[in-house]
Amino acid sequence: MFKKKETLTGLALPVVIACAMLTGCATKPVSLYQWDGYQPQVYEYLKGQKSVPEQIDALEKARDTVSTKDQALPPGFRAHLGMLYATVGKSAEARQQLTEEKERFPESSAYMDFLLSKLQ
């Protein structure tokens, strides 16, 4: 009985070391979307500490940065920007952003259609 226990203990240490080494070599998964510029702006919008034009400007800069890095905008980015455009009376830009959100994320179609109907 002691031999089995010693064998298991003796085998466990190399397995633990191997797992630790493999975990240390693991690479960080690449994000599907670039969230950096979007989340802070939504937070600022909810706090109400920035004006709508300032938020639009920040989101447009974030969109340009994401496009230069060849990354994808996250779900909701275009919809949020479109709603901000609608707030300042830029209905053509709002319509474009909401339509793009609907095309990129078909699961949002019902809500985007609702928002688009409110623009008319």
35-91, pLDDT tens digit by residue? 877 888 888 888 988 899 999 999 999 999 998 888 899 999 999 999 999 999 999
pLDDT at position 10:
66
Identify whether 30 is part of a domain.
Answer: no
CA distance 53 to 40: 15
Q: Average pLDDT in the 20-43 region?
A: 74
How many domains would you assign to the chain? 1
Closest CA to 77 of 119, 38, 33: 38
Is there a contact between 76 and 101 (Cβ–Cβ < 8 Å)?
yes
Whether residue 19 is predicted with pLDDT greater than 80 in this model: the reply is no
Q: Is residue 76 part of a domain?
A: yes
Q: To 10 degrees, what angle do helices 77-87 and 52-68 make?
A: 150
CATH number at residue 115: 1.25.40
DSSP string covering 64-104, please?
HHHHHTT--PPTTHHHHHHHHHHHTT-HHHHHHHHHHHHHH
Domain containing 42: what range?
38-119
